Amino acid sequence: MVTKFLPLPADSGGKQRSLAILRRLARRGSVVLCAFDDGTADREGLAAMGVEARSVPWTPTRGRTARGLVRTGSGSAARFWDARLAAMVRAAASPPVDVLQVEYATLAPYLQGVPARLRVLDLHNIESALAASYARSTGPLRALPAWGEAVALRRLERAALRRVNLAVVASGRDQARLPRSRAEVLLCPNGWEPGLPLPAAADPVVVFVALLGWRPNVDAAVWLAERVWPLVRRRRPDARLLLVGRSPAPPVQRLACADITVTGTVPDVRPFLARAQVAVAPLLSGGGTRLKVLEALDAGRPVVATRIGVEGLEDLVGHGVVVADTPARMSAALCDLLADPDRARALGARGRRAVADRYAWEATLAPLLGRLPA
């Protein structure tokens, strides 16, 4: 298996999906995991799963990125191209392995020249569509390079699909966005490992949990704080907003004020979900499905989301999720739930049941697991 970063601790949506697949691969046989180590990896935890973790340090430089751009043709993929990791993958797959599982289209260049009986690419997102979505939602100065990157990623995706037997997508919309190819496409939505529900929160607190250094999440946090929250503040001056997540970018850090807290990196988001009556997913661009929506619902918290924020999870609308696409509608939905804690609790409980019934990892990954060697 090849992925961006060693996925323990699973402190991002991408790591959680990769870890769910990795656990199930490890139950079937010997697994070698090749990835970058960003300095936080729990190697002992991976070893306890029976996984042999091989890694190179995450040390991006301008020179390495420039070489990656020549090698991959994409700025996004260039950041993750490292000749040391490519050599590691080739060594791990010699002699040929039963399965080569590569995570993310941006890591597809590591497929080249690596033999395997079954070659699988789990796309997580359709990166070209994500770049195009961002281009449509931003200003003209940022849109032009985003459109260029969308074209480069589309070219990379087409090449990747020619090298694999199976491609895995997380939503029906992403399945429709894929270019045509001979690869069989499997739909495996994101899932969740069910946990314990959190007790009801007493105070009017809203939480947005996300990787706050990733551009779509940065834009979402700024839109929420600058366009939506002033309307909430007008109706509920006692309300508080928590922006929780790793590596907040400077525009997110500048949002902190008397009633908006920017936590920065935290070891566990559940204490912050425990403080909140409502969660929010205010995405304006992106693709795939939102693991943080599933996490909040599993904890028993209702989610107010834009349509993009709940993309791929549309069946949860009315079952824990309320859709609101404009500042006025989102502020109204948040204030209505804060004013009626009993309704918020009931909606959160409905969402928790729906996640357990529809989005357990064993169910969502079943199409992939059914195609792997026993």
Tokens describing residue 22: 């990795």
Give the N- to C-terminal CA distance of the chain in Å, as an integer: 16
Q: Of 322, 356, 341, 233, which Cα lies nearest the Cα of 277?
A: 341
The reported pLDDT for the residue numbered 145 is: 93
**Residue 199 located in a structural domain:** no
For residues 8 and 37, the answer to whether their CB atoms sit within 8 Å is no
Same domain, 211 and 126: no
Amino acid present at 166? L
What is the C-alpha separation between 32 and 210, in angstroms, rounded?
29
Same domain, 162 and 275: no
Range of the domain at 210: 205-358
Same domain, 311 and 346: yes
Q: Which helix (H) or strand (E) holds 232?
A: helix 229-235
Same domain, 365 and 345: no
**Residue 354 located in a structural domain:** yes
Contacts of 313 (CB under 8 A, 6+ apart): 189, 289, 290, 293, 294, 321
Same domain, 242 and 227: yes
For residues 225 and 297, the answer to whether their CB atoms sit within 8 Å is no
Same domain, 62 and 172: yes
Same domain, 161 and 248: no
pTM of the model: 0.84
Dihedrals phi, psi of 276, to nearest 5 degrees: -95, 145
Q: Which helix (H) or strand (E) holds 56?
A: strand 51-57
**Residue 197 located in a structural domain:** no
CATH number of the domain residue 87 falls in: 3.40.50.2000
What is the C-alpha separation between 228 and 231, in angstroms, rounded?
6
Same domain, 137 and 279: no
The DSSP line for 123-184 is: -SS-HHHHHHHHHHHS-HHHHHHHHHHHHHHHHHHHHHHTT-SEEEESSHHHHHHSPP-SSE
Same domain, 170 and 222: no
- Domains in the chain: how many in total? 2
Same domain, 181 and 227: no
pLDDT per 10-residue tile (average), the chain, 374 residues: 96 91 95 96 96 96 94 96 97 94 97 95 93 87 93 96 96 90 94 91 96 92 98 98 95 98 94 98 78 95 96 94 98 98 97 95 96 86
What is the C-alpha separation between 75 and 257, in angstroms, rounded?
35
How do 2-5 and 51-57 pair as beta strands? unpaired
The reported pLDDT for the residue numbered 287 is: 57
